[in-house]
């Protein structure tokens, strides 16, 4: 039972981390119709910025963290304005390829800066032993995991209220349904695109912090973690806010359970999956879901009068 | 006064859709713009509200003035702010959102007056108040059209451009929409009405323009247009009494291009 709860908590917090990237991907996709392959890169660049400010510049972490988030938001704005705005109305395929270009553009300088030594975030949770965590009934919970869960819950609640209640939130929804009709209502669609990238980039950077914080550290391979938000949104359905969260939790929990139960499972089935299977599993799930439901679990349901 | 002068619009750099049209909408009037499919009515509306960009169209000549402001090539959001609202052809409501949310989005530019404007819309369209929490996509066609008009009124416009409000509606509902347009007009909103239903449009409007392949071929007071022999025959489907079928050559007094494919 302890093992089960332990793996559930770790899976949930992983899912929370993925969901932050995934929600960013979904709102960008919904509003602008672009699946941004650059989004995982934005997440790691965000982590890089925090590390640069907090460790190399020696700024207090509690200042460096919000400043880096804001900076990454503006980076999102700039990327949208320079690269994506001119592509409005162009074929989706070429825009998707363009975002791969942006991904390379962001990651090459970042990787040069990271070099071979892992970078720390300078956050206060990075001590050895029990200092970065607490224990209830033999279940160890890291502060960082708890932070990720709380942040994800707050962000999701805030965003769902924002979309339903606020003027700009409604305008974003409208833009995602019908750009021309939104223009006719006097909504400045260009500004909405910018805002979506701003919010998306900040969510990405938040997630970037949580999977590189503490002793996870930022390395050239950290990017792969953020990339796992892609199967999450594909499982949930690219245009569904709820789908992004559910997909992320599925991926996170799968990874958590497999990390703990792989050996009993292997001896039960008599097959060896080999190391790193927990990283492969998300893609296997995506494969299965796509075969059964090509639009994802929560893919678009057309509202149609019968 | 909204005035369009010698407007020429080209789509995708090659397709000349408007060939220098001019028309005016005086404050307080209802003006109808008639014409068959593809004559450029919708393009004229798009040019006024700045929506040409989306369709890859450009204004190559001419100008559009709102009172003394030149609004040629202005941004759609600025135009809505200046008090021009367009109801798009085919309603284009946000079908996955509720009625009240649709209205709120329509009031994006004047959000401080949302409550006042919502009340006004509910007064005009009581059915929308009943349905306010319902998903807009599940409304009937007539209700959706009312929602589309109500949404446009949420920005409290001085000029309302309606693109085929009678599209796909039963005759009884068309009459209802016509009454509503008159009601909206009586509240001080000038209306530019683009229609296929010439009968309805000419009955409620003060002045009418008839478009054909990107030109305005006729314009006159609406009651005079209703009496016009050609309009009767081509737009109202009334044959002159006692006459046998006529040749096109006899009835059309204005220039008509030779069409090779028809």
Average pLDDT over residues B156-170: 91
What pLDDT score does A304 carry? Answer: 57
pLDDT bin (cut points 50, 70, 90) of residue A281 is: confident
Q: Is residue A16 part of a domain?
A: yes
Question: Is-contact A216 A33, C-beta < 8 A?
Answer: no
What pLDDT score does B255 carry? Answer: 61
B91 at A interface, C-beta within 8 A = no
B137 at A interface, C-beta within 8 A = yes
Average pLDDT over residues A231-240: 86
What pLDDT score does A129 carry? Answer: 52
Average pLDDT over residues B230-241: 74
What pLDDT score does A74 carry? Answer: 95
Q: Which of B51, B152, B155 sits opposite A180 (nearest CB)?
A: B51
Nearest residue on chain A to B52, alpha-carbon basis: A180
Residues of B with Cβ-Cβ distance to A305 under 8 angstroms: 137-140
Structural domain boundaries in chain B: 2-83+158-251, 92-156
Q: Which of B51, B104, B140 sits opposite A184 (nearest CB)?
A: B51
What pLDDT score does A30 carry? Answer: 83
Q: Is residue A235 part of a domain?
A: no
Whole-prediction pTM: 0.83
Q: C-alpha distances in angstroms, B160 versus B75, B150, B197?
A: 17, 11, 18
Residues of A with Cβ-Cβ distance to B111 under 8 angstroms: 167
Average pLDDT over residues B44-59: 89
Nearest CA-CA partner of A15 in A218, A209, A232: A232
CATH superfamily of B2-83+158-251: P-loop containing nucleotide triphosphate hydrolases (3.40.50.300)
pLDDT at B4 over 70: yes
CB contact under 8 A, A177 and B95: yes
Bridge partners of residue B2, in order along the sequence: B25, B66
pLDDT at A175 over 90: no
Mean pLDDT of chain A: 86
Which of B75, B105, B137, B139 should we substitute to test contact with A (largest number of A Cβ atoms within 10 Å)? B105
A167 at B interface, C-beta within 8 A = yes
What pLDDT score does B85 carry? Answer: 93
More confident residue, B82 or A238: B82
Average pLDDT over residues B236-243: 66
Burial class (CB in 10 A: 0-12, 13-18, 19+), A208: buried
What pLDDT score does B249 carry? Answer: 64
A175 at B interface, C-beta within 8 A = no
pLDDT at A130 over 60: no
CB contact under 8 A, B49 and A167: no
Q: Is residue A54 part of a domain?
A: yes
Q: Which of B54, B76, B105 sits opposite A174 (nearest CB)?
A: B105
What SS3 class is residue A38? coil
User: Any idea how long chain A is?
Assistant: 306
Residues of B with Cβ-Cβ distance to A164 under 8 angstroms: 101
Integer Cα distance of A19 and A116 in angstroms: 29
CB contact under 8 A, A304 and B50: no
Structural domain harbouring A112? 2-223
pLDDT at B257 over 80: no
Q: Which of B79, B111, B137 sits opposite A305 (nearest CB)?
A: B137
Interface confidence (ipTM) of the complex: 0.84
Give one DSSP letter per residue of A85-120, joined into a string. GGGTTS-HHHHHHHHHHHHHHHHHHHHHHHTTSPBP
> What total number of domains does chain A contain?
1
Percent of chain B with pLDDT over 90: 57
Q: Is residue A298 part of a domain?
A: no
pLDDT bin (cut points 50, 70, 90) of residue A102 is: very high
CB contact under 8 A, A186 and B137: no
Average pLDDT over residues B148-155: 93
Bridge partners of residue B216, in order along the sequence: B211
What pLDDT score does B30 carry? Answer: 94
Nearest residue on chain B to A175, alpha-carbon basis: B94
B145 at A interface, C-beta within 8 A = no
What pLDDT score does A282 carry? Answer: 85
B210 at A interface, C-beta within 8 A = no
Average pLDDT over residues A118-136: 70
Average pLDDT over residues A151-160: 91
Q: Is residue A287 part of a domain?
A: no
What pLDDT score does A110 carry? Answer: 92
Cα torsion for A122, A124, A126, A131, to the nearest 10°? 170
Nearest residue on chain B to A191, alpha-carbon basis: B77
Q: Is residue A144 part of a domain?
A: yes
B17 Cβ neighbours under 8 A, 6+ residues apart: B9, B10, B11, B40, B43, B57, B214
pLDDT at A270 over 90: no
CB contact under 8 A, B108 and A179: no
- The continuous run of DSSP H or E covering B199 comes out as helix B198-204
pLDDT at A305 over 60: no
What pLDDT score does A160 carry? Answer: 87
Integer Cα distance of B155 and A116 in angstroms: 58
B155 at A interface, C-beta within 8 A = yes
pLDDT bin (cut points 50, 70, 90) of residue B154 is: very high
pLDDT bin (cut points 50, 70, 90) of residue B248 is: low
pLDDT at B10 over 80: yes
Q: Is residue A138 part of a domain?
A: yes
B47 at A interface, C-beta within 8 A = no
Average pLDDT over residues B218-242: 80
B69 at A interface, C-beta within 8 A = no
CB contact under 8 A, A179 and B135: no
């Amino acid at each position: 039972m302890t093992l089960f709860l332990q793996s559930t908590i770790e899976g949930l917090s992983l899912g929370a981390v993925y969901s932050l990237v995934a929600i960013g991907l979904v709102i960008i996709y919904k509003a602008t119709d672009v699946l941004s392959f650059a989004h995982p890169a934005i997440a790691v660049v965000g982590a890089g910025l925090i590390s640069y400010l907090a460790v190399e510049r020696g700024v207090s972490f509690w200042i460096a963290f919000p400043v880096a988030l804001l900076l990454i938001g503006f980076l999102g704005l700039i990327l949208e304005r320079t690269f994506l705005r001119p592509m409005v109305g162009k074929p989706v395929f070429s825009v998707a390829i363009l975002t791969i270009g942006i991904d390379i553009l962001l990651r090459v300088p970042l990787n040069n800066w990271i070099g071979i030594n892992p970078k720390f975030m300078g956050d206060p949770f990075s001590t050895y032993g029990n200092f970065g965590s607490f224990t209830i009934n033999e279940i160890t919970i890291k502060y960082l995991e708890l932070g990720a869960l709380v942040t994800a819950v707050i962000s999701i609640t805030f965003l769902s209220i924002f979309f339903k209640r606020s003027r700009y939130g409604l305008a974003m929804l409208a833009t995602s349904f019908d750009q021309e009709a939104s223009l006719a209502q006097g909504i400045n669609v260009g500004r909405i695109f910018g805002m979506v990238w701003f919010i998306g980039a900040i969510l990405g950077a938040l997630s970037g912090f949580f999977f590189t914080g503490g002793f996870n550290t930022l390395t050239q391979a950290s990017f792969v973690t953020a990339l796992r938000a892609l199967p999450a949104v594909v499982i949930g359905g690219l245009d569904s806010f709820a789908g992004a969260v559910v997909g992320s939790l599925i991926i996170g929990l799968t990874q958590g359970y497999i990390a703990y139960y792989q050996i009993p499972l292997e001896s039960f089935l008599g097959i060896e999956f080999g190391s790193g299977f927990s990283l492969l599993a998300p893609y296997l799930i995506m494969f299965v879901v796509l075969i059964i439901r090509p639009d994802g679990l929560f893919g678009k349901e057309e509202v149609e009068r019968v | 006064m909204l005035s369009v002068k010698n407007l020429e619009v080209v789509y995708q750099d090659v397709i000349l859709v408007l060939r220098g049209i001019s028309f005016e909408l005086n404050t307080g009037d209802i003006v109808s713009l008639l014409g068959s499919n593809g004559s450029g009515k919708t393009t004229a509306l798009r040019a006024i509200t700045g929506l040409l960009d989306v369709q890859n169209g450009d204004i190559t000549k001419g100008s559009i003035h709102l009172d003394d402001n030149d609004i040629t090539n202005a941004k759609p959001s600025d135009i809505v702010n200046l008090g021009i609202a367009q109801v798009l052809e085919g309603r284009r409501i946000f079908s996955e959102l509720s009625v009240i949310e649709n209205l709120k989005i329509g009031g994006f530019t004047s959000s401080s007056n949302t409550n006042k404007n919502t009340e006004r819309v509910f007064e005009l369209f009581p059915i929308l108040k009943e349905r306010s929490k319902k998903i807009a996509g599940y409304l009937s066609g007539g209700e959706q059209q009312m929602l589309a008009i109500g949404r446009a009124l949420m920005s409290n416009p001085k000029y309302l451009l309606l693109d085929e409000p009678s599209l796909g509606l039963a005759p009884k509902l068309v009459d209802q929409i016509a009454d509503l347009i008159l009601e909206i007009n009586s509240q001080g909103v000038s209306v530019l009405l683009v229609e296929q239903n010439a009968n309805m449009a000419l009955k409620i409007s003060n002045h009418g323009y008839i478009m054909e392949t990107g030109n305005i071929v006729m314009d006159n007071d609406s009651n005079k247009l209703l009496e016009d022999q050609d309009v009767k025959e081509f737009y109202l489907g009334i044959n002159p009494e006692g006459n046998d079928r006529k040749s096109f050559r006899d009835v059309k007094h204005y220039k008509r291009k030779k069409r090779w494919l028809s």
